[in-house]
Amino acid sequence: LTLKAPTVNIQANALNMSGYGGGSAFFKMQGDISQVGGHISTGDQVAGGKSLMSHTHPGDSGGTTGAPN
């Protein structure tokens, strides 16, 4: 399906995606995202090459902190 339109509005209580045959799906969006409400993810979030799940910070004693827990 290819959809070309200047604006697409979807009103639904839930929008669910799954891969063909029930497998995992891949979603790619180009451009900015504006979100109202929370975000729940079971996977890592990476921005600018920094992992939210495994990044570290400089420690106050010269080393680095451990990953978030």
pLDDT at 48: 93
Taken as a whole, the chain contains a residue count of 69
- With residue 50 as reference, give the H or E element that holds it: strand 50-51
Q: What is the pTM of this model?
A: 0.55
CB 30 within 8 A of CB 43: no
CA distances from 13 to 8, 16, 29, 37, 38 (A): 16, 10, 21, 14, 15
pLDDT digits (tens, 9 = 90+) for 14-29: 888 888 887 888 888 8
Per-residue tokens: 14: 């839930």
- On the CB side of 5, CA atoms within 13 Å amount to 7
pLDDT band at 11 (very low <50, low <70, confident <90, very high): very high
